[in-house]
Chain A
Amino acid sequence: MTDALAPVEEALAESAARRGRGGSTLRYVAGKLGGALASLFLVVVLGFLLFRVIPGDPVLSMTRGRPVTADQQAELRARLGVDRPLLQQFLDYLGRLARGDLGTSYVYSRPVGELIAERLGPTLLLVGTSTIIAVILGLWLGIKGAWRRGSRFDRVSTGVSLTLWSMPTFWLGLLLMIATGNLFPSGGIRYPDTPPDFLSQALDTAHHMVLPCLTFVAVIYAQYLLVMRSSLLEEMNADYLTTARAKGLRDDLVRRRHAVPNALLPTVTLVFLHLGLVVSGAITVETVFSWPGLGLLTYEALQGPDLPLLQGIFIVLTGSVVAMNVIADLLYRVLDPRVRAA
């Protein structure tokens, strides 16, 4: 949602540039992995800066408005380790992260790592299902639109997707909720009184997932549509398509076998580059529909604010987005023979 459409063409040009960059596979992979490690380290440093350096003294904000003596404050500081020099604190923080310890939530009084692990499943279910639907829908509409560029179908579908793209995700969710009335549950993942067998549980979950999934798809499919459309438009005048037609291939075979596979490549990169948008979508959609995943956990962490919890979520979310992008870069090399040959 945050990035407008300008980066689409920018990224297409970028992926073309990546294609041209040669070098041996080993060096490429090593370079990418090194870059990824540096990025992950930056995420960790950013996590420290944002939560330890900017907010100032956490003890002052924790004890604000309570009768606490200076001695008690000093003891609390010693217990949290914030009375030590910043460098020492940073090293402590690194050590704990290396052991997989993300701290303890103020509100839940439980380890942050445990809370995040608990909420991961529902988020993956919702985000995964919606992304798959959105990618398929977006690519299909994008291909149809580009193939019949300027037709009524193309104009209507581009217009509709741009309008949906301009909508705040949460607003669309609220409207859908109000429009469907009691047709779908208004929140949560399952009713508490559903029988425990697998089938009824799955059906109930699916019933709860209809609206969040619909909202999610409506807002994010536009990016896949627009990328696929402009990427296919770039291929439209290529000579190999003329050759394919001259061979006597049917129109939809030319499209399916020749044009689309080539146009898909930059799209794959962009799908991963825009994962940040999917994460923002998850936060707002889960908040609106009380879907018990990481997004809702983020919203809960904002309310306190529960800083250790928010810090853990920040590191996990940004870290996984960075990791996914590296995977995309490596995948690109496998998918595009032109890169491998270079």
Chain B
Amino acid sequence: MTTTQNPPSTPPRTATALVWARRRAAAARVWRQFATDRGGVAGLVVLGVIVLLAVLAPALTDQTGLDVTRAPGAPWQAPSGEFWLGTDHTGRSVLLLTWWGAQVSLLVGLAATLLSVGIGTVVGVCAAHFGGWVSSVLLRVTDFFLVLPSLVLALVLSTVLPQGLGTIILAIGVTSWPSTARLVRAQTLTVEARPYIERSRALGGGHGHVIGKHVLPAVLPLVFVNTTLTVASAIIAESTLSFLGLGDPTRVSWGSMLHSASLHGAVSKGAWWYLLPPGLGIVVVVLAFTLCGRALETVLNPRLAHSAGER
């Protein structure tokens, strides 16, 4: 396909180029709208800094400080010039632990979210697309899991499966997908009611084609918004499971720091410096994800689009 009249910017020459040019324009539009939301931008900046610090932890800090047997300080020291955030019950630097803890907390939060959103999207799209008994069975199962107290199920799963990061990710992932599935199903239903889907079917498009080419691209923005909001709850779930002693005992996370703090009597010793940093880390990351998610939601969620100014 060649364009007869050339627009001023680089003219798209093929259908794919045209599609990509449109996508770039749409992305730029989304970004411009997102940038007007101060909370969302602040959240994004904070997240960027924390993720960067977590990734660079091995390069910027000395990992031997995490080893209990080579703890550099005396136990339960209050914050000082040497240890800015004090030391824990073995004499390790709380600052270093919090820094490294960010890695595990973010990793588990993101991985569990991917799993949860993945399951939710597949179930949601299938429940809306196929109809009939497939749909009613999937809907029943979704409703069942939506009502179930997810923490209780996650606790049981991480108890009966071997302890480790993989188990935690699995336990959070398979218990938190129903709300995504409901959202995706509703959106898929509205997309599939449109005439262009019928046209695509009339031209011989099969299930795979309709879902892959038409439904998914229309549903994905909403899934993306949902992902940012789900990460927040997955990080809280991780900290809760680790706090209850179900985390990976060999890795430091914010939840496991709070677990050992309370186990070794930080409260009765008044060691606020051991409790504050990991908890603040959780609150800041969760708030940042929530702010980003809500900002994205006002830009991308079609249901809110008409009333975006009001909320």
A residues within 8 Å of B by Cβ?
Answer: 1-7, 9-10, 13-14, 35, 38-39, 42-43, 46, 50-51, 54-55, 162-163, 166-171, 174-175, 177-178, 181, 186, 233, 273, 275-277, 279-280, 283-284, 287-288, 298-299, 302-303, 305, 307, 310, 313-314, 317-318, 321-322, 325
Q: Which residues 220-269 of B sit at the A interface, judged by CB distance below 8 A?
A: 225-226, 229-230, 232-233, 236-237, 239-240, 243-246, 255, 258, 261-262, 266-268
Instruction: Known contacts A168-B243, A302-B155, A325-B147; decide if A5 and B229 are in contact (CB<8 Å).
Output: yes
Question: Which residue from B230, B243, B258, B275 sits with its C-beta under 8 Å from A4?
Answer: B230
> Do B287 and A168 touch across chains, with their CB atoms under 8 A apart?
no
Residues of chain B lying within 8 A (CB to CB) of residue A7: 179, 182
Roughly how many angstroms separate A10 CA and B187 CA in the complex, as a whole number? 11
CA gap between A5 and B229 in the complex, in Å: 8
Smallest distance from the beta carbon of B223 to chain A beta carbons, Å?
11
Complex Cα–Cα for A111 and B270 (A): 39
Nearest Cβ on chain B to A273's Cβ, whole angstroms: 7
Contact of B286 among A166, A273, A305 (CB under 8 A): A166
A contact residues around B303 at 8 Å (CB): 9, 13
| Closest chain A residue, CB of each to CB of B226 | A6
Please provide the 3 A-B residue pairs with the shortest distance between their CB atoms, ordered closest to farther: A280-B151, A276-B149, A171-B279
- Enumerate chain B residues within 8 angstroms of A310, measured Cβ to Cβ: 155-156, 159
- 12 chain-A/chain-B pairs, Cβ below 8 angstroms: A13-B303, A14-B182, A39-B144, A50-B156, A51-B156, A166-B283, A168-B239, A168-B279, A178-B272, A279-B151, A318-B152, A322-B148
Give chain A residues whose Cβ lies under 8 Å from the Cβ of B148: 43, 276, 318, 321-322
Does B150 interact with chain A (Cβ within 8 Å)?
yes
**Structural contact, A2 and B275, CB atoms closer than 8 A:** no
B282 in the interface (beta carbon within 8 A):
yes
Indicate which residue in B152, B160, B270 contacts A54 across the interface (CB closer than 8 Å).
B160
Bound together, the chains give a CA A50 to CA B174 distance in angstroms of 13
Q: B residues within 8 A CB of A288?
A: 262
How far is B179's CA from A201's CA once the two chains are assembled, in angstroms? 44
A38 to B255, CA, bound (A): 36
Complex CA distance for A171 and B310, rounded to whole angstroms: 34
A170 near B243: Cβ-Cβ < 8 Å: yes
CB-nearest residue of chain B to A17: B186
What residue in chain B is nearest A306 (Cβ atoms)?
B159
Q: State whether the Cβ of B161 lies closer than 8 Å to any Cβ in chain A.
A: yes
Closest CB in chain B relative to A148 CB, distance in Å: 14
B176 at the interface (CB under 8 A from A): yes
Q: Please give, as numbers and ranges, the residues of chain B lying within 8 Å of A43 by CB-CB distance.
A: 148
Contact of A166 with B290 at beta-carbon distance under 8 Å, contacts A3-B179, A5-B229, A288-B262 already known: yes
| Of A3, A42, A168, most B-chain CB atoms within 10 Å | A168
**CB-defined contacts of A233 to chain B, threshold 8 Å:** 310-311
- For the complex, what is the distance from the CA of A325 to the CA of B143, rounded to whole Å? 11
B281 to chain A, nearest CB (A): 10
Q: Considering only CB atoms, which chain A residue lies closest to B269 in the complex? A: A178
Tell me whether B179 and A321 are in contact (CB under 8 A).
no
- CA A224 – CA B245 in complex, angstroms? 30
The verdict on B140 contacting chain A, using a C-beta distance below 8 Å, is: yes
| A46 CB, nearest partner CB in chain B, Å | 8
Chain A nearest CB from B69 CB (Å) reads 25
Contact A167 to B283, CB < 8 A, known contacts A39-B144, A276-B147: yes
Whole-angstrom distance between the alpha carbons of A310 and B272 in the complex? 33
- Interface residue? B101 (CB, 8 A): no
Structural contact, B279 and A167, CB atoms closer than 8 A: yes
Beyond the given A170-B240, A279-B151, A314-B153, please list 9 additional residue pairs across the A-B interface where CB-CB is below 8 A: A1-B151, A6-B226, A9-B303, A166-B286, A170-B262, A177-B267, A276-B147, A284-B244, A298-B152
Bound Cα distance from A286 to B270, whole angstroms:
20
The answer on a CB contact under 8 Å between B229 and A4 is yes
The verdict on B109 contacting chain A, using a C-beta distance below 8 Å, is no
Known: A4-B233, A302-B245. A50 touches B157 (CB 8 A): yes
Is B243 touching A284 in the complex (CB atoms < 8 A)? yes
How distant is the Cα of A10 from the Cα of B142 in the complex, in angstroms? Answer: 14
> With the chains together, A317 CA to B151 CA distance in Å?
11
A75 shortest CB reach to chain B, Å: 24
| B-chain residues with CB within 8 Å of residue A299 when the two chains form the complex | 244
A5 and B290 contacting across the interface, CB-CB below 8 Å: yes
Are A50 and B149 in contact, with the CB atoms below 8 A?
no
Decide if B182 touches A54 in the complex (CB within 8 Å). Answer: no
Which residues of chain B are within 8 angstroms of A321 by Cβ–Cβ distance? Answer: 147-149
B129-168 near A? 1/0 per residue, CB < 8 Å: 0000000000010001011111111011101110000000
